[in-house]
Amino acid sequence: MSRIETTFQQLKRQGKKALIPFFTAGDPSPELTVPMMHALVAAGADIIELGVPFSDPMADGPTIQRSSERALAHKVGLKDILGMVKQFRQDNAATPVVLMGYANPIEAMGYEKFASQAQAAGVDGVLTVDYPPEECGEFLACLAQHALDPIFLLSPTSVDARVAVVAKAARGFVYYVSLKGVTGAANLDLSAVKTRLLKLRKQISLPIGVGFGIRDGAMAKAMAEFSDAVVVGSRIVQEIESAPADQVVARVGVLVKSFRSAMDS
Amino acid sequence: MQFYDLPDARGHFGTYGGIFVAETLMQALEELKLAYEHYRFDPEFQAEFTSDLKHYVGRASPVYYAKRWSEHLGGARIYLKREDLNHTGAHKINNTIGQALLAKRMGKKRVIAETGAGQHGVATATVAARLGMECVVYMGSEDVKRQSPNVFRMKMLGATVVPVESGSKTLKDALNEAMRDWVTNVDSTFYIIGTVAGPHPYPMMVRDFQSVIGHEAMTQMPELTGRQPDAIIACVGGGSNAMGIFYPYLGAKEVRLIGVEAAGLGLATGKHAAPLNAGTPGVLHGNRTYLMQDENGQIIETHSISAGLDYPGVGPEHAWLKDSGRAEYVAVTDQEALEAFHNLCRFEGIIPALESSHALAYAAQIAPSMDRDQILLVNLSGRGDKDINTVASLSGITL
């Protein structure tokens, strides 16, 4: 059984929902990435979504764009990030790690090379924003061969036929984008998300996570009531951006703890 | 007559093209594809498009024999397809009229666009004004600086110009920002992409709207010269003017098709915008194509004197035409383009756009080694009034 599947089953037994924090590998500096991952786990993260920085993050708002720029200023590439995951795995064998990013860094490395090295490093899932299922057959085959789960997005604009395509290709969990917009946007409509999620359940048997625009514990708690997982990204990246370098890991830990306790309350 | 029937149903030109976007845009692209497939062969739509091109744009654009310049160079006779004489001063308006008519039929009241040199932004603002649509144009803040006359033009036409401060602050970043707007306002908004790039159906649709250039030339050249040219030369940034003039000629194998990229300070310096000459395939802005990128797959900053060519990617159909060998792709430097710019001013009384000057420069390179009875057709894609500040400051003059 995959780490992602095991995690969701354990949470279900405990009557809890998954908290999935996101941050960009290499932000604010490459040395802090592995300590940050451990701090997230200590604060109650169930799965870590590790951003792979890209020069042209079309689906991201200004906050995550800036985090990509900070990471790229340190020349952090996909190969370095796989090294970070490997290092994380030396002290943590249980928490799933999902890489989230754009197609081109993977294209540049090559599908087979990426998939085999990601598996060896201990990566569990891969979310590639601009690879819709229709365009990545060969890539999906490589991921399957190396026991990596392809995570796909669904959005308020996904019609039933598209949901079916994604349901067929996805493994691990499905990530529902809660709003029409970029990461960090502020136009979230809770009841619309709820209605849609109930409908999606009829087509999707995998756990469904919700993300985009979740800014505080109360919102996370509300989302957790009808989803299986809550993804928090821009809010964490904001904390990274505003905290002094020597406090950033601790500050992010405190923030993630507040999301955890709100969701468990 | 066509030499192939590409793209396929999902927008592929061989391994290039396709639809590489976030899920939120997939349905919007599907709707656009269906609408375009319908209106593409709708006689009423085509009649309105053709009528607008005639009465509003002023088509057909003439073909002009640059006699004095040709004689100065010695060798082949050089003809110019005068897209600079179109309303708004470039070929860009052919496409924005087509897409705006489609937007109107799809019930969209708001259009957005990205722009580099500002020509596409002006062409979009123009059609939006005419159809009473709200218009927002994204433009890299670097380009806002170097193309200030076009920025003012767009504002006069009622558009909102949003300077983009992220990344390299040029065309690619404007495209990213326009995509972000579209994701957010996907229900109300039609995204008018200005070149033959982006996700399917844009590369095909923009090519089709621009192919009026090549269709006219196919009729005009035999009328003027008794035959088709030996070679057609066009500049390539994203590649819409080149695709527009190449496409009808793809089946005419005796006609060489030559795309000219921006070599900037020289291909060897790395400071250029020539992905077909010095890039590798990858995925950016919704399609797979040749890109300027580093070993980690990060897009690298480009350089060209011409804002309209300052783009790290290129339309996927050009990528395919390069690999298949049907078209050739070369590059000329800033310096060579500038020289051609000045020569066309002095010998023909025509101020060309710096973009088009790249095509002119390559014609000037090969014409002397050709015979007098050989013919080159250069797509003069735009006029250079927008570039006078750039050219003046290079000569140490402040206007």
Facing residue for A153 by CB, picked from B19, B23, B291: B23
The neighbour count for residue B266, using CB atoms within 10 Å, is 13
Q: How far apart, in whole angstroms, are the C-alpha atoms of residue B338 and residue B62?
A: 24
In SS3 terms, A31-53 reads as HHHHHHHHHHHHCCCCCEEEECC
Sign for the pseudo-dihedral over CA of A175, A181, A183, A187:
negative
Task: State the burial class of residue B55 (Cβ atoms within 10 Å of its Cβ: 0-12, 13-18, 19+).
Answer: exposed
DSSP string covering B90-130: BTHHHHHHHHHHHHHHTT--EEEEEESSSHHHHHHHHHHHH
Instruction: Answer whether A77 sits within 8 Å of B20, measured CB to CB.
Output: no
One-letter amino acid at B158 equals: G
Give counts: helices (H), strands (E), chain B.
Answer: 16, 14
Facing residue for A159 by CB, picked from B27, B166, B295: B27
Q: How far apart, in whole angstroms, are the C-alpha atoms of residue B129 and residue A210?
A: 40
Instruction: Answer whether B19 sits within 8 Å of A135, measured CB to CB.
Output: yes
Evaluate whether B167 touches B173 at the Cβ level (below 8 Å): yes
Checking DSSP bridges between strand B63-65 and strand B77-82, what pairing results, if any?
antiparallel
The model's pLDDT over B238-271, given as tens digits with 9 standing for 90+, comes to 999 999 999 999 999 999 999 999 999 999 999 9
Active site members of A: 49, 60
Instruction: Answer whether A182 sits within 8 Å of B183, measured CB to CB.
Output: yes
Tell me chain A's radius of gyration from C-alpha atoms: 17
A63: nearest CA in chain B? B166
Give the per-residue pLDDT at B167.
84
A187: nearest CA in chain B? B184
Evaluate whether B238 touches B304 at the Cβ level (below 8 Å): no
pTM here is 0.96
Mean pLDDT of chain B: 96
Checking DSSP bridges between strand B280-284 and strand B286-291, what pairing results, if any?
antiparallel
Evaluate whether A211 touches A227 at the Cβ level (below 8 Å): no
Look at residue B64 and give its three-state secondary structure.
strand
Task: State the burial class of residue A15 (Cβ atoms within 10 Å of its Cβ: 0-12, 13-18, 19+).
Answer: exposed
The tokens of B118 are what? 């500002």
Give the per-residue pLDDT at B398.
84
A132 touches chain B (CB under 8 A): yes
Q: How far apart, in whole angstroms, are the C-alpha atoms of residue B157 and residue B161?
A: 11
Instruction: Answer whether B293 sits within 8 Å of A182, measured CB to CB.
Output: no
Facing residue for B24 by CB, picked from A104, A109, A157: A157
Q: How far apart, in whole angstroms, are the C-alpha atoms of residue B236 and residue B306?
A: 11
Instruction: Answer whether B297 sits within 8 Å of A104, measured CB to CB.
Output: yes
Evaluate whether B174 touches B139 at the Cβ level (below 8 Å): yes
Facing residue for A56 by CB, picked from B185, B288, B299: B299
pLDDT 10s digit of each residue in chain B, 399 long? Answer: 455 789 999 999 999 999 999 999 999 999 999 999 999 999 999 999 999 999 999 999 999 999 999 999 999 999 999 999 999 999 999 999 999 999 999 999 999 999 988 999 999 999 999 999 999 999 999 889 878 889 999 999 999 999 999 888 889 999 999 999 999 999 999 999 999 999 999 999 999 999 999 999 999 999 999 999 999 999 999 999 999 999 999 999 999 999 999 999 999 999 999 999 999 999 999 999 999 999 999 999 999 999 899 999 999 999 999 999 999 999 999 999 999 999 999 999 999 999 999 999 999 999 999 999 999 999 999 999 989 989 999 888 888
The model's pLDDT over B91-110, given as tens digits with 9 standing for 90+, comes to 999 999 999 999 999 999 99
Residue whose token pair is 């190396």: A146
A contacts of B33 (beta carbons < 8 Å): none
A177 touches chain B (CB under 8 A): yes
Q: What is the dihedral of CA B310, B311, B317, B322, to 10 degrees?
A: 70
The neighbour count for residue A112, using CB atoms within 10 Å, is 14
A156 touches chain B (CB under 8 A): yes
Q: How far apart, in whole angstroms, are the C-alpha atoms of residue B303 and residue B205?
A: 28
Q: How far is CA A178 from CA A97, A152, A211, A220, B3, in A?
A: 22, 14, 6, 12, 45
When pLDDT is cut at 50, 70 and 90, the band that residue A226 belongs to is very high
Comparing C-alpha atoms, which of B132, B126, B45, B46 is closest to residue B87? B126
The model's pLDDT over A6-23, given as tens digits with 9 standing for 90+, comes to 999 999 999 999 999 999
Residue whose token pair is 């970070």: A84
Distance from CA of A244 to the nearest CA of B (A): 23
B301: nearest CA in chain A? A55
Distance from CA of B383 to the nearest CA of A (A): 31
One-letter amino acid at B233 equals: I
Distance from CA of A92 to the nearest CA of B (A): 27
B interface with A, Cβ–Cβ below 8 Å = 10, 18-28, 166-167, 172-173, 176, 179-180, 183-187, 280-286, 288, 291, 293, 295-300
A134: nearest CA in chain B? B19
The neighbour count for residue A176, using CB atoms within 10 Å, is 25
Q: How far apart, in whole angstroms, are the C-alpha atoms of residue B131 and residue B125?
A: 10
Residue whose token pair is 């590489």: B20
A109: nearest CA in chain B? B296
A contacts of B16 (beta carbons < 8 Å): none
Give the per-residue pLDDT at B164.
96
A60: nearest CA in chain B? B180
Evaluate whether A125 touches A150 at the Cβ level (below 8 Å): yes
Q: Within chain A, where are the H helices?
A: 3-14, 33-42, 62-73, 78-89, 103-109, 111-121, 137-145, 160-169, 190-200, 217-224, 234-242, 248-264
Q: Is B286 left (phi over 0), alpha (psi -120 to 50) or beta?
A: left
A72: nearest CA in chain B? B298
A contacts of B28 (beta carbons < 8 Å): 157
List of domains in chain A: 3-264 (3.20.20.70)
Q: How far apart, in whole angstroms, are the C-alpha atoms of residue B227 and residue B231?
A: 12
B contacts of A60 (beta carbons < 8 Å): 180
A243 touches chain B (CB under 8 A): no
Interface test with B, best of A52, A54, A56, A151 (most B CBs within 10 A): A56
Facing residue for A107 by CB, picked from B19, B184, B283: B283
Q: How far is CA A124 from CA A51, A111, A152, A212, B134, in A?
A: 14, 15, 14, 22, 45
User: What are phi and psi for residue B106, nearest 5 degrees?
Assistant: -85, 0
A59 touches chain B (CB under 8 A): yes
Comparing C-alpha atoms, which of B166, B172, B217 is closest to residue B195? B172
B contacts of A79 (beta carbons < 8 Å): 296
Interface test with A, best of B162, B298, B302 (most A CBs within 10 A): B298
B381 is catalytic: yes
Q: Residue B381 half-sphere exposure, CB side, CA atoms within 13 Å?
A: 36
Give the neighbor-by-neighbor strand order of the sheet with B286-291.
B12-13, B16-20, B286-291, B280-284
The model's pLDDT over A79-112, given as tens digits with 9 standing for 90+, comes to 999 999 999 999 999 999 999 999 999 999 999 9
A104 touches chain B (CB under 8 A): yes
The neighbour count for residue A71, using CB atoms within 10 Å, is 26
Facing residue for B167 by CB, picked from A56, A105, A180: A56
Comparing C-alpha atoms, which of B380, B258, B271 is closest to residue B329? B258
Q: How far apart, in whole angstroms, are the C-alpha atoms of residue A152 and residue A154?
A: 7
- Is residue A133's pLDDT more than 60? yes
Instruction: Answer whether B18 sits within 8 Å of A135, measured CB to CB.
Output: yes
One-letter amino acid at A50 equals: L
Q: How far apart, in whole angstroms, are the C-alpha atoms of residue A252 and residue B10?
A: 43
A contacts of B186 (beta carbons < 8 Å): 157, 180
Residue B219 host element (H or E): helix B212-225
Cβ within 8 Å of residue B142, ≥6 positions away? B168, B169, B170
* A and B: number of Cβ contacts within 8 A: 126
The model's pLDDT over A139-184, given as tens digits with 9 standing for 90+, comes to 999 999 999 999 999 999 999 999 999 999 999 999 999 988 888 8
Q: How far apart, in whole angstroms, are the C-alpha atoms of residue B246 and residue A244?
A: 56
Comparing C-alpha atoms, which of B98, B103, B119 is closest to residue B56? B98
B114 is catalytic: yes
Distance from CA of B20 to the nearest CA of A (A): 5
Evaluate whether B277 touches B309 at the Cβ level (below 8 Å): no
Distance from CA of A29 to the nearest CA of B (A): 18
Look at residue B348 and give its three-state secondary structure.
helix
